[in-house]
Chain A
Amino acid sequence: MRRFLFPLGLFFSLVCLLGAGLRLNPQEIPSPLIGKPAPAFALAQLALPDKTFGPQDMQGQVWLLNVWASWCTACRQEHPLLLELAGRNQVSIVGMDYMDARADGAKWLEKHGNPYRLSILDSDGKVGIDYGVYGVPETFVIDKRGVIRLKLAGPVTAEIIEKKLLPLIKELNRA
């Protein structure tokens, strides 16, 4: 009997290792940008095409950069939550309309409501690449010094807002 103990133990530890691997979410790619300054850009605003916006304009504030698009279905899902979050007046949310047409983006905001302090248009996705965006929606938390502190891939949920976003925003606001 004892001679089976070792192989059996080995087998179970392998099962545990593979089981843990299955539970990991391969869609969640750790961002190398965490703890680094938000990449600079100057993009035209969605509503005011002749005005630009860049991260330097938010210096001294904690803010969210939410990447969205009118063609993105998961953005529809998180939109009501963003509207509610904006309503609490705890943090400014800037939208980045990603690989979209200006008219489509504007129409989408008109139809579903606008949680953003302003939106910028990244029509060819170049700034998106600088931020390592690989799907929409994605949300970045940027602190007062312009450093990226958190990246959320996929739609935010009520739970993420309560347990992750708001506590982090509070902490960053105190700093």
Chain B
Amino acid sequence: MRSLLLCLMLAAAPALAEPTLEQHVTRLSEQLRCLVCQNQTIADSHAQLAVELKNQVREQLAAGASDQEVLDYMVQRYGDFVLYRPPVKPSTWLLWFGPLAMLLAGLGLLFVKVRQRQAQGDALDPAGETHAA
């Protein structure tokens, strides 16, 4: 089993070392949202628009554009919506940090409640004092 895996890895190695244009296109396409079928990337989608956008990505990469230049080109036309991974900026702070803020608020609330209950318990139950001490 292990030798088989090794063989596979060796076979894949040249491809990894030298990514072809097509792999590059696919990798970049996986970061772009298909605007027709919105839960898919243009790499996954067979919608005509997705095919056209992939052609654009291919043409631009072939012409020597960087990844960022291709992404910028798409954002200029379709807005941030075209990016599968939304950029971090003031209008998306809630999206990026909202869940974490909610978690922290929840933990904080829990902490306060537990402390309150402990304090109450200590006051009601004199035996608690011996535990605390």
Contact = CB atoms under 8 A, between A and B. Distances in A.
Given A29-B35, A29-B81, A134-B49, A129 B56 contact: yes
Interface of B: 35-36, 38, 48-49, 52-53, 56, 75-79, 81
Contacts of A32: 75-79
18 contacts: A26-B38, A27-B38, A29-B35, A29-B78, A31-B79, A32-B76, A99-B48, A99-B52, A125-B48, A125-B52, A129-B53, A129-B56, A132-B77, A132-B79, A134-B35, A134-B36, A134-B78, A135-B36
Nearest to B39: A26
Contacts, number: 38
Interface in A68-99: 99
B79 A30 contact: yes
B49 A125 contact: yes
Contacts of A27: 38
A131 interface: yes
Nearest to A33: B77
A130 interface: yes
Given A26-B38, A134-B35, A135-B36, A129 B81 contact: no
Contacts of B76: 32
Interface in A105-153: 124-126, 129-132, 134-135
